Amino acid sequence: MISHKINICKIIKDHWRTMDGGFRDYFTVIIVPVAIGVFVSLKTRFCDNSLASNLVVFFSIFIPLSITCVISMLSFVKSIKTGSQTTVKYNNLIKELMTNLMYIVTISVIELMLMFVCMIKLNIQIPLLITEIYNAIVISSFVHLLITVIIAVKRLYSVFNKEFEYQETSVNNDSKKD
């Protein structure tokens, strides 16, 4: 049994609950990355030290940036007046965005761990099939991460776009009162 302090199952479950497009969402977020991962792992040698080192640097920068985005969203949520039309209007979208951002951080940490495993040099011969499966997992999770980032960016765009629309309506309503 995993300690509740490191159990990420709720983050993963909540993320999958944000997928409301049915088969299309699952196709885009699961089948496409797995297909790309398998194809690329069969065609190239993916996991070498230079690429793994570059990805470690990428994830070492990307993870704190993602956490900063989460913190920024939290301050944005706190700035919305409780009970306002904005709060009611954005509540689900903001929850989904926050869930996606936390999932992105989680997947990035897992991907970082996969890169560290890739960099470990063992003095044993690893069968080609195991290497190809490992490469497919690494590539699939990276593509999955990129697709999830696109989903989060689109939701972030929607949140801010709706906020701007709300502010424009508020300004127009205030100017009509004058």
Q: Residue 107: is its pLDDT beyond 60?
A: yes
pLDDT mean across residues, the chain: 80
pLDDT in tens, 55-83: 888 888 888 888 888 888 777 776 665 55
CA distance 9 to 2: 10
CA distance 42 to 166: 50
Looking at residue 122, what is its pLDDT?
66
Total-model pTM: 0.79
Domain limits, the chain? 30-167
